[in-house]
């Protein structure tokens, strides 16, 4: 039996420059999709995948994230006194859901560097990494899909998605061979190489890494061993390439719809589609959209 994945790391120290001015005084992880902050979608995905221990890597100006997952006595008291029990349950659920720990990344030196900050809290255990910009809507949580592959192969697993070649330079891209698994030929891949943000002409395939990872603990040594790469940052993709020299790594083309909520257009699409799926809002919102003269 492979060791169970008990901890999920959420890098959340980025400056959110793509969303200025909204992110000047507010972390981008707290931007609401309909009525829930982005990071909560990722946290709920981890919980639904069986992971309750959440490690959030924060930076300056991120205290709203800590407050969000903490108890709010004043708010709970007010809701109770007004007999707003449904809203009270929603507010309580947020703090009851998880065991959360925070670690600071003093400088934004890259995704690999952020993950390395969690080393002490993770210890010598496998870990999940969730990038909350990538919001994934699926029947089986994306992280659960990855964990199933991890539990079978006992190796690190990355979420993969095909992206058009004109967008490929925004991603980590893999060279990979399909592996037959559970009667499917085109979901599981054995990774042979990885490149962070390649030029379209240098991309080894159209399979991009999406922000869900299940990693074995040797990744921390690999992060420590590498030099800064793309954008002068310590890249997780480069650490994975280093790890590949000594361990197998798999990729999984997950089932579900992914939204790039770190991008303005992606965020708008996610907002509209999540609102349309809501029982309490979807009907009226659909009618409103149909009535727009576009
Ligand atoms: C990060 C990773 C990249 C991955 C992407 C997925 O890039 O470095 O490999 O493909 O997330 O969203 P970022 O979007 O932070 O530039």
Ligand 1 geometric centre to CA of 10 (Å): 13
Mean pLDDT, the chain, whole residue set:
94
Does the residue 218 lie in any domain?
Answer: yes
More confident: 88 or 193: 193
Q: Does residue 135 have its Cβ closer than 6 Å to ligand 1?
A: no
Q: Tell me, what's the pLDDT at 203?
A: 96
Q: Tell me, what's the pLDDT at 75?
A: 87
Q: Each residue of 105-132: pLDDT tens digit?
A: 988 899 999 999 999 999 999 999 999 9
Q: How far apart are CA 16 and CA 222, in angstroms?
A: 27
Give the chain's count of helices (H) and strands (E). Answer: 11, 13
Ligand 1 geometric centre to CA of 263 (Å): 12
* 117: containing domain: 7-262
Tokens 């089932």 found at: 255
Q: Which atom of ligand 1 is nearest to the CA of 196?
A: 9
Does the residue 189 lie in any domain?
Answer: yes
pTM of the model: 0.95
Question: Which pLDDT band, with edges at 50, 70 and 90, does 8 fall under?
Answer: very high
Does the residue 278 lie in any domain?
Answer: no
Does the residue 273 lie in any domain?
Answer: no
Q: Does residue 171 have its Cβ closer than 6 Å to ligand 1?
A: yes
Q: Does residue 238 have its Cβ closer than 6 Å to ligand 1?
A: no
Q: Which atom of ligand 1 is nearest to the CA of 260?
A: 12
Question: Which pLDDT band, with edges at 50, 70 and 90, does 255 fall under?
Answer: very high
Q: Does residue 195 have its Cβ closer than 6 Å to ligand 1?
A: no
Question: pLDDT at residue 224 above 90?
Answer: yes
Ligand 1 geometric centre to CA of 111 (Å): 8
Question: Which pLDDT band, with edges at 50, 70 and 90, does 86 fall under?
Answer: confident
Which residue, 226, 227, 245, 169, is CA-closest to 200? 169
Question: pLDDT at residue 97 above 80?
Answer: no
Ligand 1 geometric centre to CA of 175 (Å): 16
Q: Tell me, what's the pLDDT at 175?
A: 98
Does the residue 121 lie in any domain?
Answer: yes
Burial of 249 (0-12, 13-18, 19+ CB in 10 A): buried
Residues 6+ apart with CB under 8 A from 51: 5, 6, 7, 8, 128, 143
Q: Does residue 111 have its Cβ closer than 6 Å to ligand 1?
A: yes
Does the residue 175 lie in any domain?
Answer: yes
Does the residue 117 lie in any domain?
Answer: yes
Question: pLDDT at residue 94 above 80?
Answer: no
Q: Which atom of ligand 1 is nearest to the CA of 133?
A: 12
Q: How far apart are CA 147 and CA 136, in angstroms?
A: 15
Q: Each residue of 19-75: pLDDT tens digit?
A: 999 888 899 999 999 999 999 999 999 999 999 899 999 988 788 999 898 888 888
Q: Tell me, what's the pLDDT at 148?
A: 97
Domain containing residue 64: CATH number: 3.90.550.10
Q: Tell me, what's the pLDDT at 269?
A: 98
Best residue among 12, 18, 112, 171 to mutate for probing ligand 1, ranked by most atoms within 8 Å of CB: 171
Structural domains in the chain (count): 1
Q: Tell me, what's the pLDDT at 93?
A: 78
Q: Tell me, what's the pLDDT at 189?
A: 98
Angle between helices 264-277 and 282-291 (to 10 degrees): 120
- The phi and psi torsions of 116 (rounded to 5 degrees) equal -60, -30
């Amino acid at each position: 039996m492979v060791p169970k994945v008990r901890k999920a790391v959420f890098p959340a120290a980025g400056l959110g420059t793509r969303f200025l001015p909204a992110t000047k005084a507010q972390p981008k992880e707290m931007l609401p999709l309909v009525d829930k902050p982005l990071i909560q979608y990722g946290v709920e995905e981890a919980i639904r995948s069986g992971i309750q221990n959440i490690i959030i890597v924060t930076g300056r100006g991120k205290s709203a994230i800590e407050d969000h997952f903490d108890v709010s006595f004043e708010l709970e008291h007010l809701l109770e006194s007004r007999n707003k029990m449904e809203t009270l349950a929603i507010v309580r659920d947020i703090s009851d859901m998880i065991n959360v720990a925070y670690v600071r990344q003093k400088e934004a030196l890259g995704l690999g560097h952020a993950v390395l900050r969690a080393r002490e809290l993770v210890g010598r255990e496998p870990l999940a990494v969730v990038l909350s910009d990538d919001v994934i809507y699926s029947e089986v949580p994306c992280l659960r899909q990855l964990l199933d592959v991890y539990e079978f192969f006992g190796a690190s697993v990355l979420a993969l998605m095909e992206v058009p070649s004109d967008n490929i330079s925004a991603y980590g891209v893999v060279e990979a061979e399909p592996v037959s698994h559970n009667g499917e030929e085109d979901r599981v891949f054995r990774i042979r190489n990885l490149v962070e943000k390649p030029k379209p002409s240098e991309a080894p395939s159209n399979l991009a890494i999406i922000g869900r990872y299940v990693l074995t603990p040797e990744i921390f040594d690999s992060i420590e061993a590498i030099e800064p790469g793309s954008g002068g940052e310590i890249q997780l993709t480069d650490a994975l390439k280093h790890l590949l020299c000594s361990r197998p790594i798999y990729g999984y083309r997950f089932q579900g719809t992914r939204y790039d909520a770190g991008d303005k257009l992606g965020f708008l699409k996610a907002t509209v589609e999540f609102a349309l799926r809501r029982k309490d809002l979807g009907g009226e919102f659909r009618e409103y959209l149909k009535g727009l003269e576009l």
